[in-house]
Amino acid sequence: MINIIFSEEYKNHDTGNHPESIERIKVVNNLIKEEYLKHNLIEPNIADKKIISLVHDIEYVNKIYDSIPNSGFTYFDPDTIASPNSLKSYLLAVGGSVDAVNYILDNNNNGVFFCAHRPPGHHAECNKAMGFGVFNNVAASAQYALNSGKFKKILIVDFDVHHGNGTQNIFKNNPDVYYASSHQFPFYPGTGSFDEVGVGNIFNCPLPSECDSSSFRSLFRKNIVDKIDTKFDLIYFSAGFDAHKLDPLASINLDDDDFYWVTKIILEKFANNVPIISVLEGGYDMEGLYHGLHNHLKALVEYSDE
């Protein structure tokens, strides 16, 4: 049994004719309703400014609150769009990611959580909206978990096709949070080379354009799984499905079951009876998103049933 934090509210974050669209969350919610209704479904709570400012400058947070339009769209950058109801989605996406930590703390358990949120957060910097995201959902949740004192070492695994520059920058000087990312390179946002190592806590796995399933698996194993030899007491996935071969935004050619494989190999090596929090990032082909996520969730369900 896994816990799925999701809300119909994400359908109100209107981005117009943009790949990070309302359609995405409809597809995700359909998958949940078709395949995962017997799991524990939880509505997210809204994060307050104190939570968001764990990883974002308060001036930036205030600026975002003040920039939400009464009608039409505001552009934080050419790709990052707000409409009148967007703020609630931003706050629920952070809030739900933090709810997972509170649930684990309150129940003293090793639960498995999937946060079906939008927009994605891994590009959001401490003082800058970027790449469809305004607040960094995973980073806020991980910092909150660390501050609780219950977790000493946290691993964030990001298999979205884009490098999570925001998450890396927020934690690159923090030896208690490891960030491991596979991503097309060179590609947006430009970061994610081998030589970005932080304080020994950053593990980048650049993937060449047109990388297929077998190359992905051997590169991921070599640069992430085999390189990290640390015990963690909480594991996050920044779960993006835009490395799928159908995705229109990138040119990595993963199959549906690569998302099962990448989840499984991380859980088998690093997750020894520890809680897991997976947070939705990208994925812009609706079929690729549905089947990639279904495969990721299958591996999470198997881990939770062990």
Catalytic positions, please?
123
* Residue 121: partners with Cβ closer than 8 Å, 6 or more residues away: 93, 94, 133, 134, 135, 136, 137, 138, 139, 140, 166, 279, 281
Q: Could you tell me which stretch among 84-92, 162-170, 187-195, 201-209 binds Zn ion (CB under 5 A)?
A: 162-170
Q: Does 24 contact Zn ion by CB under 5 A?
A: no
Residue 164 in the binding site for Zn ion (CB under 5 A): no
Least distance in Å: CB of 95 to Zn ion? 22
Give the per-residue contact string, 120-159, with Zn ion (x = CB under 5 A; - = no): ----------------------------------------
Helix axes 86-107, 58-67, angle to 10 degrees: 130
Q: Would you count residue 240 as binding Zn ion (CB under 5 A)?
A: yes
**Minimum CB separation from Zn ion for residue 162, in Å?**
4
What SS3 state is found at 256? Answer: helix
Q: At 303, which helix (H) or strand (E)?
A: helix 286-305
Binding Zn ion by CB under 5 A: which of 20, 99, 125, 242? 242
Of positions 24, 39, 56, 162, contacts Zn ion by CB under 5 A: 162
Number of Cβ within a 10 Å radius of residue 74: 15
Rg (the chain; Cα; Å): 17
20 forms part of the interface with Zn ion (CB under 5 A): no
**Dist CA 98 CA 273 (whole Å):** 20
Query: Is 119 among the residues that bind Zn ion (CB under 5 A)?
Result: no
- Does the protein bind Zn ion through residue 160 (CB under 5 A)? yes
3-class SS at 33?
helix
- Find the binder of Zn ion among 96, 133, 166, 282 (CB under 5 A): 282
Q: How far is the CB of 303 from Zn ion (least distance, A)?
A: 24
Distance of CA 69 to the CA centre of its chain: 26
Interface ranges with Zn ion (CB under 5 A): 160, 162, 240, 242, 282
